[in-house]
Amino acid sequence: MKYLQVHKNRVERKEITGSTVKNYIKPIKLFCEKMDIIIPWNKITRAMPKGRKYANDRAPTDEEIRKTLEYPDRRIRPIIHTMASSGIRLGAWDFLRWRDISPMIKDSKIIAAKITVYAEEDEEYFSFMTNEAYEGLGEWMDYRKQCGEMINENSWVMRNL
């Protein structure tokens, strides 16, 4: 109970959120279950601080997007356009290869692109991006080719400079 009280105090001091306290209790609960230690978890969890069951996220405003696009790193523009138009999260870039993005063509023009997010993972899904986002990624890949990098379908879409 002292351990729980320490974390409740941290919540009151706004060092952590109420939802985070559960993450400190989970390994203890699992250990007790594995060791057949009987603990009245119902009583303990009633004393835990309540947390929000939703994130406090919001879509960026047009002005915030415009301001971010001014950043001088040439990777920012395709990243922002791709994330804003496809809805992918930041962590998706760690899985994204060039083969996971395919243009959609109508009347000999690229109108959009299909993006496979978390390809070959359990969480795999697909989304779509604007032609502007696709063209920005294409320009980024062309730039890397011009700098001597061997680009193919297995190339990571984004990388460290």
User: Is residue 38 located within the same domain as residue 66?
Assistant: no
Q: What is the pLDDT of residues 50-108, one digit of tens each?
A: 766 666 677 788 899 899 989 998 999 999 999 999 999 888 999 999 999 999 999 99
Q: Report the number of distinct structural domains present in the chain.
A: 2
Among residues of the chain, what percentage have pLDDT more than 70?
96
User: Is residue 42 located within the same domain as residue 72?
Assistant: no
Pinpoint the alpha helices (H) of 71-130. 76-86
User: Is residue 30 located within the same domain as residue 81?
Assistant: no
Residues spanned by the domain of 10: 2-46
More confident residue, 23 or 110: 110
pTM of the complete model: 0.64
User: What is the C-alpha separation between 66 and 50, in angstroms, rounded?
Assistant: 37
User: Is residue 29 located within the same domain as residue 80?
Assistant: no
- 34 belongs to a structural domain: yes
User: Is residue 75 located within the same domain as residue 141?
Assistant: yes
Task: Yes or no: say if 153 and 92 are a contact pair by the CB < 8 Å rule.
Answer: no
